[in-house]
Amino acid sequence: AISQLCMASARYRAAANYARRVLKAEGYPTRAAGTVLLALARLEDQDGFFALAHQLEEQVGADTLENSPWYLLARTILLFKTNKMRPATRALREFANRCEGGAFFLLNPMYQTPCRPEPRDPWDLSHQAVWEADGIISDTPDFAPWANACEDVSQLAQEFARRYGF
């Protein structure tokens, strides 16, 4: 919760530090790794980002990491912010294709309660990840228009909206 407040108030280094502390706690599942990944992406800390991704890959498995909306979105943001546009576009498409509703929530931000409720719908995790990244996306004004200009992504967002009545 503290790390989410730090993210919302653009204190990304503090968010990463608090979330790293939560990661060290054992005995209950958290999504603190996603907070750290988003913060590192915003800080453009490529070494830290990919080191944590490698560590998480060993801990939770490559499949779990590769399907995490937080990882996929954070990687897209990191590549975009470091001006690696071809890989960023591939990462954006991967996020949009792998994360149910990811494209829709990225292009159509929607309010969510400050806590992370247990997912009920297939797209809840995508919504949570995009909501947590909202401050980063707002701090990067050319990110959303760039994502919207990616034809595949806007098409996936429209299909999701029709399917779920948004």
Tell me 45's DSSP state: -
DSSP letters, 66-99, are HT-HHHHHHHHHHHHHTT-HHHHHHHHHHHHHHS
Predicted model pTM? 0.86
Contacts of 57 (CB under 8 A, 6+ apart): 65
The mean predicted confidence, pLDDT, of the chain is: 86
Residue 29 has a pLDDT of: 56
Residue 13 has a pLDDT of: 74
Q: Over 80: is that where the pLDDT of 1 sits?
A: no
**Average confidence (pLDDT) over 69-78:** 97
Q: Over 90: is that where the pLDDT of 21 sits?
A: no
Contacts of 144 (CB under 8 A, 6+ apart): 106, 107, 137
Q: Over 90: is that where the pLDDT of 41 sits?
A: yes
Residue 114 has a pLDDT of: 52
